[in-house]
Amino acid sequence: MKWKGLLFIAMLIATIGIASAHFTMLFPKGMDVTPQDYIAELGETKTILIVWGHPFEHILFDMTSTPEVSVRDPEGNVKKLSPTEITVEGKKAYKVSLTIDKLGDWVVYAKYKDKDEKLVDHVKIIIHCGEEAWYGWDANVGQKVEIMPYTRPYGLEEGFVFTGKALFDGKALANADVEVEKYHTKDVADEVVKKAEKMFPYDPPMMFTRVTKTNSNGEFAYTLDEPGIWFIGAYGPEVNGFTQRGIIIVPVLKSFPPREESSLELQSKIKALEDEIAALKTQKKAPGFGLFGAVVGLLIVAHLIRRKAK
C-alpha cells in the first residue's frame, strides 16, 4: 500500500515533468488558427483570442489577470483595446476585436502577468493587410522585453530561418535564452506528444520547446521547419520577482510552390505501372522479365514518393 502511494506520487511528478513552456497566445480566429488568419482584408474586423498555456501540447490554463492590449496601426497611431473575459476549452481567457481599416501592418501587442508562473509576457503579433503594403512589421512598440523581427514575419515558408533581436528596456538583451515552440491543434498535439514520449522517453519536452540564445548584440536565428504558428520567446531579467519575457508569434506557410504537383506526377506513374502489372497477370504465359521490371519500377517510385513526403 505504502509503496503504491509512493509510486503514484513518482508517476505524478513524472507527468508534471512532461511539460513545455507556458506562452501567452494571440490567435486572430479560434483555436483552429492557421497562418492565413494573420492576413486581413481591408475593412475586416478581427477578433483575437488571448489564451495561456502550452502551445505544442495544446494545454490551456486559466489566466490569472486581465491582459493589457494595444494596437499600432500602419501609420504609427496607438490605441488601447478592451479585452473581454471569455471561456476557451473550459479555461479563463480573453478576446479583443479591431477593424483593419488601413493598408499595411498592424502590430497587436499584449502584456500579461501570470501570478502562478511569476512571469510577465510581452507578446506581439503582426496582422498584414494589402498587396505590397509591407510597412509597420518592424515597428518598435516599446515593450519591456521586445523582439524586433529582422525577418518580415509574413510570407514565410516552412524551412525559412527567422532572425531577430531581443531588447530589454530598449537595449540589446545579450546572452538570453530564446524558446521556440510550435502550436498544435488538439488532435495533432495528442498524436505528436505521444510519439515524442515513445521516441524520446528520456526527455520528450526537448522536442516540444527548442532553445537558442541571443548573442552579445541580442540577436538570434532559428529555422522554422514546419508550417504552422510559431512562438518565439526571449527571457529577460526579473522585475519585482516577475521574469520579463518578450514573445513574437510567427505564422509559417506550407512550402511554396506546393509539393503535391510532383507527387501527383509520381502517382500517375505508379498507376501506369500497376496497369502494366495487371495486364501481364491476365496473360496466361509466364510473365518473365516484364512483371519483374514492373515490380522493381513500382518499388523505386514508391521509395521516391516516401522521400518526397519527408
Residues near Cu ion (CB under 5 A) are 21-22
Could you give the count of Cα atoms lying within 13 Å of 182 in the half-sphere of its Cβ?
21
**Could you tell me the smallest distance in angstroms from the CB atom of residue 67 to Cu ion?**
17
What's the rounded Cα separation, in Å, for the pair 172 and 247?
15
Q: Which is nearer to Cu ion, 21 or 26 (CB)?
A: 21
Place of cell 538570453: 176
The identity of residue 201, as a single letter, is P
Q: Which is nearer to Cu ion, 22 or 165 (CB)?
A: 22
Q: Which is nearer to Cu ion, 15 or 82 (CB)?
A: 15
**Helix 260-282 with 289-309: angle, nearest 10 deg:** 160
**Could you tell me the smallest distance in angstroms from the CB atom of residue 217 to Cu ion?**
29
Residue nearest to Cu ion (CB): 22
Q: Which is nearer to Cu ion, 209 or 214 (CB)?
A: 209
**Could you tell me the smallest distance in angstroms from the CB atom of residue 164 to Cu ion?**
22
**Could you tell me the smallest distance in angstroms from the CB atom of residue 239 to Cu ion?**
20
From residue 5, alpha-carbon distances to 12, 15, 17, 18 in Å are 11, 15, 18, 20
Q: Before 67, cis peptide (omega within 30)?
A: no
**Could you tell me the smallest distance in angstroms from the CB atom of residue 262 to Cu ion?**
40
In 73-118, which ranges are E strands? 78-81, 84-88, 91-99, 104-114
Q: Which is nearer to Cu ion, 37 or 57 (CB)?
A: 57
